[in-house]
Amino acid sequence: MRDKIGVLDLQGGVQEHLTHLEALGLEPVRVKKATDLDNLAGLILPGGESTCLARLITIFELRTPIIHAFSSGMKIWGTCAGAILIAKTIKNETPHLALMDITVDRNAFGPQVNSFQETALLPEIAPTPLTLTFIRAPQITHTGTHVNVLHTTNGTITAAESAECLATSFHPELSGSTAFHRYFAKKCGLVVSSSVSEVPLTAWTQKTKISK
């Protein structure tokens, strides 16, 4: 029975995703080996460093199991670096998992010192505005026929989804809102029992939002 969401636990913002899922009454799975993928309804590929994550996926022999689980019905959400990992095309680079028909330009919003936040309304995700945090964020420069654009930032696509995938250039896990995690859980076919809409941000998360 597919009743859990996993978070790839190799590098990057893992704990924040786990905290948001737990706040919704879900039981997340830390994915470090192939058997951790068994019967997952969905998998979150967190933000971090995409090249490092891609190498670790190879080292831990997870590439083929992730692709197989995806082809068997597991949904995938890539945030920031995770969106790069699932893109079928990466500007001037070889794609990694190549699961979603999007083209991304890595670090296109600039280096870490150019990190920023915006407040925006994404009607498909939540009825009220959300805080979106961009840290060395990629831009989605092209979407395939079956990909729906969820949000643009200054004319550039920063959130999109297909029937199987969700991609965000920004970091919803660095916001207190559980809206994106709730949306992904429902996309995975899971019933979210908790009505929690906000989780408290840790001091580390607050510092990360400012310093990165």
Closest CA to 178 of 30, 22, 43: 22
Q: Which domain does 130 fall in, by range?
A: 4-211
DSSP 93: B
For position 200, what pLDDT does the model report? 85
Residue 51, number of CB atoms within 10 A of its CB: 14
For position 193, what pLDDT does the model report? 85
For position 116, what pLDDT does the model report? 94
Instruction: Calculate the alpha carbon distances from 113 to 62, 132, 151, 204 in Å.
Output: 32, 16, 23, 18
Active site residues: 80, 171, 173
132, 181 Cβ separation under 8 angstroms: no
For position 188, what pLDDT does the model report? 98
Cα 158–160–165 angle (5° rounding)? 130
Residue with tokens 């989605």: 140
- Which residues, 6 or more positions from 123, have their beta carbon under 8 angstroms from its beta carbon? none
For position 11, what pLDDT does the model report? 95
How many domains is the chain built from? 1
The residue ranges of the chain whose pLDDT is under 50 are 203-204, 207, 209-212
Q: Residue 63 belongs to what H/E stretch?
A: helix 63-71
Reported pTM? 0.93
CATH number where 168 lies: 3.40.50.880
For position 205, what pLDDT does the model report? 52
For position 202, what pLDDT does the model report? 63
- 3-class SS letters over 164-201: CEEEECCCHHHCCECHHHHHHHHHCCCCCCCCCCECCC
For position 204, what pLDDT does the model report? 42
